[in-house]
Structure 1
Amino acid sequence: MDKIAFLKQYRKSIEFVSDKDLLHIENGKIPGKWLEIFREADKFIQKDKLIALWKSVCEKELSNTISYIKENLVELELIIDNGEYAVLYSIKSEDEEIHYYEGGISTKSVLNDWVAFPEVIKAFYEELHNGFYYFASRAMGLVPFEHVTRFDDYEWGILEELDEPLGINMEKTYGFFQSGMGGYVAIDLDNSMDDTATLWFTNDQPEYNVSFWDVVDEWIVIGMQDN
């Protein structure tokens, strides 16, 4: 199965943006730094510019993710789906298969309390990607704004099974990373200093006071290696 046929299994209207169409994208649709990357004809220079952009935003926080992308990126393409642009990464796994990851175009937040979130999370979404995740499942990564889980909006059966008192404020807790199998890496705005986060599960006990970026970095790489 070719690439576009595979992608269309999950999004019927998805298309690749050609080099010709790239020249005619309306101002403001895509940030200039991304246009510069996609208009670079030399693929080695293009990758260097891509990695430099990632490092400028989250070099410390996602160091393993950046290293894996640098070593295993096969192709970088601009896609469009229902008028929305995104970046498609073709990344080689450890067993030499190609897996597709999607990075939304960076944008300003629509979330309440956005000003209160940790600075690097804000920078990631506003300067790099509105989410970065495995294409097929839209999981195993940082989800786009429209899929961020505000915990108080959901009923969690696990609450009745907790061994210890609940350690987060559900009204101020947001899940930015989803595993696709009931796991979340979440930020409680009442306890978010030093990127403190909670590992939340729909079918297991939560783990409090973990490092948001350490967990996210590890889980993204696991997904890239093993999906």
Structure 2
Amino acid sequence: MIKRNLLVMGLAVMLSACGFQLRGTGTSELAIKELDLSARNAYGDTVVQLRQALQSSGVNVYAGAPYKLVLTNEAETQRAATYAGGSGRSAEYELTTVLSYSIEGHNNTNLLNDKLEVRKIYVHDGNNITGSQQEATQARNEMRRDLVQNMLVRLQLLTPGQLEGLQQKADERAQAEADALEAARRAQDETPQQSPLQLPAN
């Protein structure tokens, strides 16, 4: 028994040393250490759980951080996965949630846009409405946890250096657009304006 416990502990240490982590046993450190977080629904379950997960991952989440993660939209759809022929029969429904997000840099410059999508099927029993509603609620809670977990995985792929590179490209685009507008304005100012046509009086 002791040998088996030592073996399990040894495997756990080896796996953690390789960066492997079992789902639900904790969170991995992110390279991004400072991040602002906002959402259309500032007090929604998704943004609240994501803030907690980021903080557990060693991220200092605060307003005014160099980069901001914005949850721009969270949309849920539902469709029948199987058809129930008569009333009172069970049917499967597929829930889909799409979370659109963006990352903003200095001066609210948009650095990237992307989205996450999760799906889950639950059973609706026409003879047990309350139980079906509870199952649907549980499915939605699981999908939200999946969204938060997937977002952390996406953020783990980003480094401060990559964000700085995106910021530099965004600044260069903004400067090029500003220069083009200024050149167009100067060209318009330097173009002689034609006098209105004077019609002879009768």
Task: Please say whether Structure 1 and Structure 2 have the same fold, judged by a TM-score greater than 0.5.
Answer: no
TM-score w.r.t. length of structure 2: 0.29
Higher Rg: 2
Higher helix share: 2
